[in-house]
Each structure stands twice: as structure tokens, then as C-alpha cells.
């Protein structure tokens, strides 16, 4: 059993970590986009402020994907 776990974490661990990091980053971007659209629907006058905040939030969520891709590939 320990040999199987060692093989999974050694060979597939990097790919699995990258895949999970990118998946959860994509979910984060989707949630931010959804909530931004809902907020603009409720208060169209604040669309400029909401757009700026949502772009910053999406950029931070995408940074997680880049970290998961580049940190574990080296």
C-alpha cells in the first residue's frame, strides 16, 4: 500500500496538484463572475466599482492557478 501511495504522489502528485489548483482557481473565477453579475443586476449604478473589484479578485484567483502550475513542475 505504501508503494502505491509513493508512486501516486511521485508520478501523479505533481499533475494532480496542478489539476486541483487550476480547477479550484476556475471555480473561484466563476463564483466571482457570478456574484459580480448579480451585484450589477441589483445596483447598476455601481457597475464601475464592481467591475474593478471583480477583476482584482479574478486576478488573485488566477494567481493560485499559476502557482500550482509552476511551483510543482520544477
pLDDT of residue 16: 75
Contact 64, 24 (CB under 8 A): yes
Cα–Cα distance, 74 to 14 (Å, whole number): 9
pLDDT of residue 70: 80
Per-residue pLDDT of the chain (74 residues; tens, 9 = 90+): 666 666 666 656 667 777 888 899 999 999 999 999 999 999 999 999 999 999 999 999 999 888 888 876 55
Cα–Cα distance, 17 to 10 (Å, whole number): 11
The reported pTM is: 0.75
Q: Which domains does the chain have, with CATH numbers?
A: 2-71 (1.20.20.10)
C-alpha pair distances (Å), 66 with each of 29, 35, 53, 54 = 13, 23, 20, 18
Cell of 4: 502505491
Contact 19, 67 (CB under 8 A): no
Amino acid at each position: 500500500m505504501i508503494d502505491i501511495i509513493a508512486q501516486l504522489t511521485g508520478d501523479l502528485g505533481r499533475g494532480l496538484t496542478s489539476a486541483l489548483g487550476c480547477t479550484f482557481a476556475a471555480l473561484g473565477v466563476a463564483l466571482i463572475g457570478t456574484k459580480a453579475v448579480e451585484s450589477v443586476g441589483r445596483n447598476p449604478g455601481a457597475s464601475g466599482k464592481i467591475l474593478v473589484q471583480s477583476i482584482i479578485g479574478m486576478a488573485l484567483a488566477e494567481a493560485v492557478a499559476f502557482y500550482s502550475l509552476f511551483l510543482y513542475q520544477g
